[in-house]
Amino acid sequence: MKVSIITVVYNGASFIKDCIESILNQTYPDIEYIIIDGKSTDGTVEIVQAYGTKIAHFISEPDKGLYDAMNKGIRLATGEVIGLLNADDFYRHNRVIENMVATFERTGSDAVYGDMLYVDRNDPKKLKRYWRSGWYHDNAFLWGWMPGHLSFFARRWLYEKYGTFRLDMKSAADYELMLRFIHKNKASLAYMDEVTIVMRAGGVSNSSVKNRLRANREDQIAWQLNDLKPYFFTFWLKPLRKLKQYISKPPEALY
């Protein structure tokens, strides 16, 4: 099973090497690695180019933002399964892709997801937040559930059949896509009960109360765009679920 991993970056020279190394050091042999750069000016391009043919596809050109860049990568992908890893994040260990593929093969699912850690931006040993996605059940989105986006690996045909990221969404484009795939179109899921992704803290949607309220409004729009009817409390359960992530601890050490 060929796996395509897509990294999007813009002026990410400070962290992108960690991201690239975490992918190139994976034990799984059949990985197509794609990097989409937004025309960086801080040395990112030179860092990526130094890896030569280890990067299957590298594009550096202006784009319309994060999700436009992701869509470019998806269009280039030839793997049966597609995963996304942002430039300032990295895989928890070198068997993540191997374990993910084994989960696909064992379950025959349309998509696989796992857990994530948020760490201090400059010191990855300082844990900020533990996102345990937990097991999926029908209609879980109605109760504020969603998997961590970067822990989400989907078969390429899902993107081909149901579409890529909507550029008219902002911070909730990932939520809308998974709502569309899973809740609306009933993609089957399998859960990897392990931490797969380490993310450096600083996401746009959670950086302030104002941004969190905007993201909440975008969540509502995501349901409307898909002609779906949530419960009246759905949009408040989603941020409430995140509160637990700040006090929960993973069952294993970070390193």
Instruction: List the chain pLDDT tens, one digit each, 255 residues.
Output: 999 999 999 999 999 999 999 999 999 999 999 999 999 999 999 999 999 999 999 999 999 999 999 999 999 999 999 999 999 999 999 999 999 999 999 999 999 999 999 999 989 889 999 999 999 999 999 999 999 999 999 999 999 999 999 999 888 999 999 999 999 999 999 999 999 999 998 754 445 556 666 778 899 999 999 999 999 999 889 888 888 788 777 876 544
In contact, 70 and 164? CB cutoff 8 Å: yes
* Other CB atoms within 10 Å distance of the CB of residue 202: 12
pLDDT value at residue 206: 47
What is the Cα–Cα distance from 250 to 216, expressed in whole angstroms?
27
Bridge pairing between strands 127-131 and 111-119: antiparallel
Residue 249, amino acid: K
- Say if 16 falls within a structural domain: yes
DSSP 252: S
pTM score of the predicted model = 0.93
* Other CB atoms within 10 Å distance of the CB of residue 185: 13
In contact, 194 and 99? CB cutoff 8 Å: yes
Residue 8 CA: distances (Å) to CA of 35, 41, 102, 213:
6, 15, 26, 26
DSSP 70: H
pLDDT value at residue 235: 87
- Say if 184 falls within a structural domain: yes
- Say if 166 falls within a structural domain: yes
In contact, 2 and 79? CB cutoff 8 Å: yes
* Other CB atoms within 10 Å distance of the CB of residue 207: 12
- Say if 253 falls within a structural domain: no
Q: What are the phi and psi torsion angles at 35 (to 5°)?
A: -120, 125
- Say if 116 falls within a structural domain: yes
Residue 53 CA: distances (Å) to CA of 87, 91, 134, 162, 202:
18, 21, 37, 32, 31
- Say if 250 falls within a structural domain: no
pLDDT value at residue 238: 85
- Say if 255 falls within a structural domain: no
What is the Cα–Cα distance from 128 to 195, expressed in whole angstroms?
14
Query: Which domain, by its residues, includes 9?
Result: 3-245
* Other CB atoms within 10 Å distance of the CB of residue 135: 10
- How many domains does one find in the chain? 1
Question: Domain of 129: which CATH number?
Answer: 3.90.550.10
- Say if 254 falls within a structural domain: no
Residue 251, amino acid: P
In contact, 26 and 95? CB cutoff 8 Å: yes
Residue 138, amino acid: D
| Torsion 17-19-20-24 (CA) sign | positive
What residues contact 40, with CB distance under 8 A and at least 6 apart? 9, 10, 11, 12, 13, 60
pLDDT value at residue 255: 41
